Chain A
Amino acid sequence: MKVVVDEEKCVAAGQCVAAAMDVFDQRDEDGIVVLLTENPPAELADDVRNAAAVCPALAIRIEE
């Protein structure tokens, strides 16, 4: 699994961090998404898919 985030689209809702905190974080200065790992391990795959699904700005793309 490969994760791609779009900082331009991100609206800092924080949904991805709530869903998968080992994969996503937010910048302190404006809350914009920070990708902690591009290739998350298999055991986090469901959380990451969930994070992409709840992102209101559709800023997370997953390449399986």
Chain B
Amino acid sequence: MSEAETELAAPDAEIFDYPGARDRACPFAPPAGLRALNDTAPVSRGRLWDGSTPWLVTGHAAQRVILSDPRVSSNDKQPGFPYPNRAMAENAPHHPLTIFNADGADHTRIRRMMTAPFTRNRMEKLRPEIQRFTDELIDSMLAGPNPADLNAALSLPLPSLMICALLGVPYEDHEFFQEHASLATRSDKTAEQDRVAMEALGGYLAGLLQKRMEEPSDDVISDFAGRIKAGEVTLPEAVMLCMILLIAGHETSASMITLGTALLLQNPEQLALLRGTDDPKAVANAVEEILRYLTIPALGQRRIAAEDIEIEGVTIKAGEGIVVALPAGNWDPAAFPEPEKFDIAREARHHHAFAWGIHQCLGQQLARIELQVVYGTLYRRVPTLRLAVGFDELRFRRDDALAYGLHELPVAW
């Protein structure tokens, strides 16, 4: 090997292995190596689980440019697509067209079939119901053994109750959903487990859709049943869209409640500020900061360039994979001064916890209101809430989990 080649090869060793390993001493922060890229290169190469080295977009401004560029595709059937894990790579050829992997006009058509139930005003109307579910779940926790696992007592059931109520899934089927939805968001699942979970959920939803085609009621499943009858979607397409609604808001919201509570308990002065305020705007602002700080979808957004794209002094060639590292953008000091400072009063609305561009989270307004209700209620109703184990005993999810978080959160009061 010539000297020139050695020099060219050397930087390879420094390619960041995405998503990277977090420091156990500060498990809320993105990995140090990822954050360091904000100082050196907002767009660089990263290495994934399969050894591939797609582009890694870490800068907040660069993330906005990439996620708004129509030359950047979400089509996960193209060779070179940077899959988050092996199961998704293996199953990609079988993935139907959904809001996740459609571009342009296809994406618009599909997304607009799913947006009606999630408008800001409809979500605001759900607020009293979310408050009631939250109060009841807290009542049950307080009536039960102390300490308890907050994740099981509140975080997992609340989003599940809400999305099932919105869709029109009967309450008695919740446990079945929770189990299969949890499996679908795990990174250590096998392709086979993924398929089994999807088939079980799909079979159930198909049955429910068919039932509502005969006897519609006032819910999202009935809305899709009507669209099937009108010939706007096929039954398998409707099943997939309902499945996405069920799964996407489940572990992400739950994780924001559990991990968010752990973060607040570790920052008592911020928790005191939150507990002390009567101002809904201050609570809403705290939600944005916690979304930014934790950036639950740590594996980021996956894309592939449809054409050559010049950005930040590099050329992303057509056919090259792109990983938009959301946690890095949300900790970019250019967008959030002193990003390591957890400050519930900071201006954080421009975060990318729900991503950016046309694929930005469909259920974000539901998530926001759930979190506003929970953060505005739990710590006031249970002012003595505290960790029931040492902080270093908490079990954090794997760094390559689709939704970052904790396996459980033992709390006492």
Contact with B along A31-54 (1 / 0, CB 8 A): 110000000000000000010011
The segment from B113-121, B144-152, B246-254, B381-389 that touches chain A is B113-121
Q: Which of B12-20, B235-243, B353-361 is the contact stretch?
A: B353-361
Q: Does A4 contact B (CB under 8 A)?
A: no
B181 → chain A closest CB, angstroms: 23
A29 touches B116 (CB 8 A): yes
Confirm or deny: A17 has a beta carbon within 8 angstroms of a beta carbon on chain B. yes
Indicate if the CB atoms of B121 and A25 lie closer than 8 Å.
Answer: yes
- Is A12 an interface residue, CB under 8 A from the partner? yes
Is B120 touching A26 in the complex (CB atoms < 8 A)? yes
Residues from chain A with Cβ under 8 Å of B112 in the complex: 12, 30-32
Give the interface size bracket for B toward A.
Answer: 20 to 34
In the complex, whether B77 has a CB less than 8 A from a CB of chain A is no
Q: Main SS of the interface on chain B?
A: helix
B195 within 8 A of A: no
A13: chain B residues within 8 A (beta carbon):
354, 360-362, 364-365
State how many residues of chain A have any CB contact under 8 Å with chain B: 23
Instruction: Give the complex CA separation of A58 and B69 in angstroms.
Output: 11
Query: Chain A contact residues: over half helix, strand or loop, or mixed?
Result: loop
Contact B350 A17 (CB under 8 A): no
Chain A residues, CB < 8 A from B358: 11, 56-57
Contact A26 B350 (CB under 8 A): no
Q: Contact between A30 and B121 (Cβ–Cβ < 8 Å)?
A: no
Nearest chain A CB to B223 CB, angstrom units: 10
With CB as the reference atom, state the residue of chain A lying closest to B99.
Answer: A11
Q: Is B111 in the interface zone, CB < 8 Å from A? A: yes
Q: List chain A positions with a Cβ less than 8 A from chain B.
A: 8, 11-15, 17-19, 21, 25-26, 28-32, 50, 53-54, 56-58
Interfacial residues, chain B to chain A (CB-CB below 8 A) = 67-68, 108, 111-113, 115-116, 118-121, 123, 349-350, 354-358, 360-362, 364-365, 368
Given contacts A14-B119, A31-B119, 9 further A-B contacts (CB under 8 A): A11-B111, A11-B358, A18-B365, A18-B368, A25-B121, A30-B116, A31-B112, A31-B118, A56-B67
